[in-house]
Structures are given as C-alpha cells and as structure tokens.
C-alpha cells in the first residue's frame, strides 16, 4: 500500500490564519526547518491508480493540487478523479469541510459512522454532494469494510473501531457532562490491503502491512494498546505536546483534554502510553499550531524523536 500524508496539521493549519504566536510567525517568516502544514488528511492506494482519502480537510483543493496522483489522469474522461472513496474519522470541521470542495456531480463513495452521517444529513449544505451521485455508506463501530469506489473495489480493507474522543465542537451540548459525546463520534482505522485479513504470520500480532490511522484520541487504554500492537505503522494524534500549551502560549484557555486530544508529554501522555507497544513506525499527525514539536530545534521535538516517533509532514510518503 502507498500512503501519503496530505495534511499533517490539526484544525487551523500551520500557520493558522489569525495566529501571531511565535510558531506561526516562524513558519510565516520561512524560518529554516519550519514547514507549512495543511489540515488533517491522508490518502491511500493499493495499486497507485485509485485512491481513498481519509478525512476531507478544508485544504483538500490545494492538497490535490500538490499531489499529481490525486489529479485527473491524462488518459481519463473529461471529468474524473482517481479518488474513489472518502472516509471520515469524525465530524470535526477540519475533517468534513473539504467535502464542499468535492461538489460538481463527481461520483465517489462517502464512508462514515451513523453519528457522522447524521451530522452531514442534518446540515443541508452537504446536499451539494447529491446522494444520488455521492453514495453515503455507514461504517460499523467495530468491523471490517472493503472500500469501494464507483467502479468497484479499491483493494483496501479498513477495520473501524471507536476511540475515546469528543463530539465535534459545533455539536457540543454545554449541558452535558461529556458535551454530548457518544460512541461513533471518533473512530480509529486499521488499513490493510484487501485479502490480508486473517492471514497473520506466525509470531506476529497483525497481518503484514497494517497501518493504523488515529488522528484524534483522548485516551489510550489496554484494548487500544493490544489492538495496534504489531502494526507496521501508526499515524497518531499529535495535537498538543503539553495539555496546557494553549494557555501557556496565551492563545486560548482550552486544554488538550477539553478538546478531546491526549497530550504527547506527561505521565498519561502518548509517549508513555504507547512506549511498550510494538510498532514498525510511529508518526504524529494532526499537529496543532501551538505544539512545540513544530520547531525542529525544540526540546519537545528532540524528546519525541528520542522516543522513536517521527513528526509527520505534508507530502510524507509511506509504503507498508
């Protein structure tokens, strides 16, 4: 499988349009080592010709412009796309707003959980993707789905599972202790080439070539640790390094936990929680513009790299 990180930033991107904090200034000023990052999305392909895109970022138009594999093929029809399917992991703005850029009556299959499909159905602007043209298919909260495009199977199999998270910001119910969060608001995905299910090689815990994509996660428990153990690659929620970094930077008051994202650092942070999990590669994506790992010279960047993590970037290519 080929995987491409289309956007490695969290909501807002890097730099964020209105952010004047030191990290956003540094990338705007093109300081060495600071990379512009678009909002959260990856693409995957089994054959290099047809693709599934995971999360439709508000930046999808420029992500497609930066990725020739996702553009209409020279030998294609007058209107066509190599993108056969879009898969959503939650209903956050940074993961669904790009659907609006995919109008123009182009068929593809849109996959999401019942909770996320309900959000799309209740927001009539998404009718620009006429369901007669863009078929919406429900993903199970626990189960395997063979991804299809309008022309048939894409050769990609996904296993979906609920992870700890939070309902989208614009759907929060202030009266509810948990803001109205329910299972299905945030999922993780195991992505494998079709046909590899069930063929776990001796001595391994996963079929060869399993990539886990979990761009939003509020907590890791034993079930999740066991589930991802043995994966060839993990792309994981790298929103904040310190839980309180938004307040520490002075740009806002929300903690990572309040936003449904566990911090990288700390006793309950990602580095500690996944230290003993066996993974071929581990890469942070969905990185917020306040996260000090965006400065390659920072102590935070050195800490994650020393712990075996890579810092995802736009255009990063992986083969699993």
Question: Of these partners, ligand MLT, Mn ion, none, which one is at the site of residue 259 (CB under 5 to 8 Å by kind)?
Answer: ligand MLT
CB 88 within 8 A of CB 114: no
Tokens of 58: 């508000």
Binding residue (CB under 5 A) for Mn ion from 59, 92, 159, 243: 92
- Residue 314: CB minimum distance to ligand MLT, A: 17
Binding residues for ligand MLT, per CB under 6 A?
Answer: 10-11, 92-94, 169, 216, 259-260
* Cβ-based nearer residue to ligand MLT, 227 or 261: 261
With respect to Mn ion, which residue has the nearer C-beta, 11 or 13?
Answer: 11
Question: What residue 93 binds from Mn ion, ligand MLT, none (CB within 5 to 8 A, per partner kind)?
Answer: ligand MLT
Q: Name the residue number minimizing CB distance to ligand MLT.
A: 11
Interacting partner of 169 out of Mn ion, ligand MLT, none (Cβ under 5 to 8 A depending on kind): ligand MLT
CB of 114 to ligand MLT, least distance (A): 20
Q: Which is nearer to Mn ion, 10 or 271 (CB)?
A: 10
Which partner, ligand MLT, Mn ion, none, binds residue 247 by CB below 5 to 8 Å per kind?
none
Nearer to Mn ion, 94 or 185 (CB): 94
How far is it, in rounded angstroms, from Cα 123 to Cα 202? 48
Of residues 15 and 216, the one with the C-beta less far from ligand MLT: 216
**Distance in angstroms (rounded) separating the CA atoms of residues 143 and 159:** 5
Instruction: Say which entry of Mn ion, ligand MLT, none residue 159 contacts (CB below 5 to 8 A, set by partner kind).
Output: none
- Determine which residue in the list 94, 159, 237, 314 makes contact with Mn ion, applying CB under 5 A: 94
- The site for Mn ion (CB under 5 A) is made up of 10-11, 92, 94
């Amino acid at each position: 499988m080929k995987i491409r990180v289309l956007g490695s930033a969290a909501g807002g991107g890097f730099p964020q349009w209105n952010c004047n904090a030191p990290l956003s200034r540094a990338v705007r000023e093109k300081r060495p080592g600071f990379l512009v990052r678009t909002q959260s999305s990856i693409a995957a392909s089994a054959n290099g010709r047809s693709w599934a895109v995971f999360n439709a970022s508000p930046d999808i138009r420029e992500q497609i412009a930066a990725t020739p594999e996702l553009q209409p093929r020279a030998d294609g029809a007058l209107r066509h796309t190599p993108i056969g399917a879009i898969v959503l992991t939650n209903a956050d703005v940074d993961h669904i707003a790009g659907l609006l850029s995919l109008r123009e009556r182009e068929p593809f299959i849109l996959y999401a959980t019942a909770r996320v499909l309900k959000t799309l159905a209740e927001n009539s602007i998404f009718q620009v993707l006429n369901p007669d043209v863009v078929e919406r298919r429900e993903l199970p909260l626990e189960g395997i789905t063979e991804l299809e495009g309008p022309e048939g199977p894409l050769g990609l199999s996904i296993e979906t599972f609920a992870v700890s998270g939070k309902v989208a910001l614009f759907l929060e119910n202030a009266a509810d202790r948990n803001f109205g969060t329910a299972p299905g608001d945030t999922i993780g995905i195991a992505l494998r080439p079709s046909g590899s299910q069930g063929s776990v090689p001796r001595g391994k815990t996963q079929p060869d070539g399993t990539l886990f994509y979990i761009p939003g996660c509020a907590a890791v428990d034993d079930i999740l640790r066991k589930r991802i153990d043995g994966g060839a690659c993990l792309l994981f929620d790298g929103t904040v390094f310190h839980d309180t970094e938004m307040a520490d930077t002075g740009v806002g008051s929300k903690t990572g936990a309040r936003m449904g994202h566990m911090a990288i650092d700390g006793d309950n942070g990602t580095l500690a929680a996944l230290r003993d999990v066996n993974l071929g590669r581990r890469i942070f994506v969905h990185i917020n513009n306040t996260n000090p790992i965006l400065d390659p010279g920072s102590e935070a960047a050195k800490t994650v790299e020393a712990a075996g993590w890579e810092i995802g970037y736009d255009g990063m290519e992986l083969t699993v």
